[in-house]
């Protein structure tokens, strides 16, 4: 009323009276100001009370029950909830704990939270999003894009430095956990995303990767174990093995990496050729760069286990099928063991252990079933290369050790010939193998004529020749090869003829008479003669003796 009457008084000239402007305006505004102040205080009190009740309600909320109820939401509503949670999970703190916590209760500063509060909100939002995804695995392909972008924003985003470790690690483990059960859904989308995510983790710096590897090992193991078909036949194998290689470089993660690698390598099911080769190379890297000798020996054992796996696989195959892929893979495994036994950066113990594994592999009865092409590759890529490397590359600094290595390589070649002589003589490549053996033997005696070699080589050559002479059927029609053999042996190993002459003399003295006419003819021509040797040692027995 006074506000309405004031202008009227002014119009009537009552500006200086008792009810003039100077009197009524301050009084009227005072009452209005008082009313506004009380209303503002009442509003502030109501907002604070509402804010307090909201916090209490959130504290009493059963998250698991809430998530279980949200499972029955429509797909559009589910997407809306995830989209609402995502920005909260990606929000960083705007003030620090040292600032006045009373500001948190102010309606004007609802978005200004402390660091601890922001982290709690991030973690809670992330947990809600991951729990919703786990509860809705049947619809995961529809919400995968939202979830994947959320996790990548936390783990790989530009704001990574502001993300607390518990939120960071929960995002990685949660994605592994969900992906391990959903890889076969989404038409390959989820597989591609997990594949890309693993490669992004591999590119992290050492400190970040070590943290991830140590705290998410169980989830990554589950990812591999539940998706072995993708490891055997899919491109996930490449990413998983690269991840394990990176783990192996971190000392605290070496044992975990070896355990996961063994799970992949010792799997009995067949595997795509490319993936098998990747497994072999990974085991080789583990053996070469292992942090300690124990882990390196484990990796070498895994390589030998690949040999056993291939031999078991080949024995179980239908032999009517002309498939030689398994034999080719075996040659590759043997070649990798050969590389490791010759690698200059490998320690002496690792080279020695790799050599022992190689000897066990090439002396296996599995090689009796190798086809001709695999045998040629075995000699060229493994045995001859091993021996010639000992001839030319001084892996050992000690000259005595160098000579022992040469003799060991040559004796291994002899043992392989004797152990597998029967299947070898039935192959068309035997002439080539035999002449190659003579070549490396001549190179050994001519270029490295040590006392040790001059004593041992003739004796073992004599043992091999005695076994060959006993097989009359094989040498029928190979007179030219036999004559060429003796011509070369007389040239670079004359001690052999003296040794054989001495053996013949001892045999004659023991029997008390001269040999038969056939034996005399054999000594003159150098050809094996029927009946010349009635008590020849078996090839396998001699081979085992030499191997021993």
Q: Give residue 448's pLDDT band: very low, low, confident or very high (50, 70, 90).
A: confident
Pair 11, 137 in one domain: no
Distance of alpha carbon 226 from its chain centroid, rounded? 16
**Residue 25 pLDDT > 50, yes or no?**
no
Q: What is the pLDDT of residue 188?
A: 84
Please report the pLDDT score of residue 322 as a whole number.
40
Query: Do 38 and 131 reside in the same domain of the chain?
Result: no
| Domain assignment of residue 98, yes or no | yes
Does residue 11 belong to any structural domain of this protein?
yes
Burial status of residue 179 (CB atoms within 10 A of its CB: 0-12, 13-18, 19 or more): buried
Q: Which DSSP letter does residue 102 get?
A: G
Which pLDDT belongs to residue 51?
Answer: 82
67/199 same-domain check = yes
Give the span between the Cα atoms of 517 and 523, in whole angstroms: 10
Averaged over 412-418, what is the pLDDT?
Answer: 91
DSSP secondary structure letters along 131-170:
HHHHHTGGGHHHHHHHHHHHHHHHHTSTTGGGS-HHHHHH
Angle of helix 236-248 relative to helix 254-265, nearest 10 degrees? 150
Q: Kindly tell me if the per-residue pLDDT of 358 is higher than 90.
A: yes
| Poorest-pLDDT segment among 111-120, 145-154, 183-192, 376-385 | 111-120
Confidence of residue 18 (pLDDT cuts 50, 70, 90): very low
Task: Give the pLDDT confidence score for residue 370 in this predicted structure.
Answer: 85
Residues 225-234: pLDDT tens digits? 999 988 988 8
Q: Of the ranges 113-127, 202-216, 246-260, which one carries the lowest mean pLDDT score?
A: 113-127
Q: Is the pLDDT of residue 23 over 70?
A: no
Q: Please indicate, yes or no, whether residues 106 and 216 belong to a single structural domain of this protein.
A: yes
Q: Examine the domain organization and report whether 79 and 209 are in the same domain.
A: yes
Q: Identify the band that residue 527 occupies on the pLDDT scale cut at 50, 70 and 90.
A: very low
Q: What is the 3-state secondary structure (H, E, C) of 480-540?
A: HHHHHHHHHHHHHCCHHHHHHHHHHHHHHHHHCCCCCHHHHHHHHHCCCCCCCCCCCCCHH
285-301: pLDDT as tens digits: 999 988 888 999 999 99
Domain endpoint, select from 179, 198, 226: 226
49 and 141 share a domain? no
Expressed as residue numbers, the domain containing 212 is 62-226
pLDDT > 60? residue 335? yes
| Other beta carbons within 10 Å of 31 | 10
Are residues 53 and 84 located together in one domain of the fold?
A: no
Report the percent of the chain where pLDDT is more than 70. 74
User: In whole angstroms, what is the distance from residue 481 CA to residue 437 CA?
Assistant: 13
Q: Which residue has the higher pLDDT, 414 or 321?
A: 414
Q: What is the pLDDT of residues 81-90, one digit of tens each?
A: 899 888 888 8
379-385 long-range contacts (CB < 8 A, ≥24 apart) are 379/433, 379/436, 381/331, 381/334, 381/335, 381/338, 382/331, 382/334, 382/335, 382/338, 382/358, 383/412, 383/413, 383/416, 384/413, 384/436, 384/440, 385/335, 385/338
26 shares its domain with 68: no
- Predicted pLDDT of residue 506: 54
Task: List the structure tokens of 534.
Answer: 């009635």
Region 321-343: mean pLDDT is 82
78 and 38 within one domain: no
Q: Looking at the domain assignment, is residue 248 inside a domain?
A: no
Asked whether residue 542 is assigned to any structural domain, the reply reads no
pLDDT tens, position by position, 466-508: 888 777 777 777 788 888 888 888 888 888 877 776 655 455 4
Q: Is residue 112 part of a domain?
A: yes
Range ranked top by mean pLDDT from 273-277, 366-370, 511-515:
273-277
Sign of CA dihedral 514, 516, 517, 522: negative
Q: Which of 226, 241, 261 is the last residue of a domain?
A: 226
Among 59, 76, 97, residue at a domain's last position = 59
pLDDT at 319: 43
Question: Over the chain, what is the mean pLDDT?
Answer: 78
Do 8 and 113 share a structural domain? no
Name the residue with higher pLDDT: 496 or 337: 337
Q: Find the mean pLDDT for residues 359-369.
A: 88
Whether the predicted pLDDT of 98 surpasses 50: no
Query: Which range is least confidently modeled, 318-327, 460-469, 537-546?
Result: 537-546
pLDDT at residue number 20 = 47
Flag whether 329 is in a domain.
no
User: In terms of domains, do 31 and 166 share one?
Assistant: no
Domain count across the chain: 2
pLDDT at 115: 66
Read off the pLDDT of each residue in 353-379 and give the average, rounded to a whole number. 90
Q: Is the pLDDT at 365 greater than 90, yes or no?
A: no
Pair 117, 26 in one domain: no
Q: How many CA atoms lie within 13 A of 167 on its CB side?
A: 32
Residue 532 domain-assigned? Answer: no
Question: Which position has the higher pLDDT, 385 or 113?
Answer: 385
In this prediction, residues 45-59 reach a mean pLDDT of 82
Residue 122 has pLDDT above 80, yes or no: yes
Whether residue 519 lies inside any domain: the answer is no
CB-CB contact of 187 with 140 (8 Å): no
Tell me the C-alpha distance between 408 and 342, whole Å: 13
3-state class of 329 per DSSP? Answer: helix
Given this model, what pLDDT does residue 318 score?
A: 45
């Amino acid at each position: 009323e006074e506000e309405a009457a004031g202008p009227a008084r002014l119009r009537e000239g009552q500006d200086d009276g008792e009810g003039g402007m100077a009197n009524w305006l301050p009084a009227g505004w005072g009452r209005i100001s008082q009313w506004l102040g009380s209303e503002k205080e009442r509003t502030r009190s109501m907002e604070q009370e509402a804010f307090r009740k909201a916090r209490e309600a959130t504290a009493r909320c059963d998250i698991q029950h809430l998530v279980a109820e949200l499972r029955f939401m429509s797909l559009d509503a589910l997407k809306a909830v995830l989209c609402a949670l995502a920005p909260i999970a990606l929000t960083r703190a705007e003030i620090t704990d040292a600032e006045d916590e009373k500001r948190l209760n102010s309606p004007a500063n609802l978005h200004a939270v402390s660091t601890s509060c922001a982290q709690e909100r991030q973690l809670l939002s992330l947990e809600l999003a991951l729990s919703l995804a786990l509860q809705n695995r049947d619809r995961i392909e529809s919400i995968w894009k939202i979830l994947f972008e959320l996790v990548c924003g936390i783990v790989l985003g530009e704001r990574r430095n502001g993300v607390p470790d518990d939120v960071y690690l929960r995002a990685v483990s949660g994605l592994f956990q969900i992906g391990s059960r959903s890889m076969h859904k989404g038409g390959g989308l989820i597989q591609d995303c997990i594949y890309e995510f693993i490669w992004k983790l591999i590119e992290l710096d050492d400190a970040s990767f070590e943290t991830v590897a140590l705290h998410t090992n169980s989830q990554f193991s589950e990812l591999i174990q539940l998706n072995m078909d993708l490891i055997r036949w899919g491109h996930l194998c490449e990413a998983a093995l690269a991840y394990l290689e990176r783990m192996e470089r971190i000392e605290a993660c070496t044992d975990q990496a070896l355990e996961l690698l063994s799970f992949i390598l010792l799997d009995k099911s067949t595997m795509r050729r490319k993936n098998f080769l990747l497994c072999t190379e990974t085991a080789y890297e583990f053996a070469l760069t292992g942090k300690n000798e124990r882990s390196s020996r484990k990796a070498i054992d895994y390589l030998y286990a690949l040999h056993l796996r291939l031999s078991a696989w080949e024995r179980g195959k239908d032999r009517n099928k002309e498939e030689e892929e398994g034999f080719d893979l075996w040659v590759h495994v043997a070649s990798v063991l050969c590389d490791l036994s010759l690698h200059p950066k490998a320690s002496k113990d690792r080279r020695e252990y790799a050599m022992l594994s190689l000897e066990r592999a090439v002396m296996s009865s599995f090689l009796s079933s190798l086809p001709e092409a695999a045998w040629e590759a075995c000699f060229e890529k493994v045995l001859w290369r091993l021996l010639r490397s000992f001839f030319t590359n001084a892996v050992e600094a000690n000259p005595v050790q160098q000579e022992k290595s040469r003799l060991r390589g040559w004796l291994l070649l002899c043992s392989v010939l004797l152990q597998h002589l029967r299947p070898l003589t039935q192959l068309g490549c035997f002439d080539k193998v035999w002449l190659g053996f003579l070549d490396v033997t001549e190179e050994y005696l001519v270029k490295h004529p040590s006392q040790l070699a001059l004593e041992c080589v003739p004796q073992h050559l004599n043992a091999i020749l005695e076994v060959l002479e006993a097989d009359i059927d094989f040498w029928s029609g190979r007179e030219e090869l036999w004559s060429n053999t003796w011509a070369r042996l007389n040239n670079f190993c004359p001690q052999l003829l003296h040794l054989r002459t001495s053996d013949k003399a001892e045999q004659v003295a023991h029997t008390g008479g001269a040999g038969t006419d056939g034996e005399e003819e054999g000594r003159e021509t150098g050809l094996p003669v029927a009946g010349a040797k009635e008590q020849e040692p078996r090839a396998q027995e001699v081979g085992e003796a030499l191997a021993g």
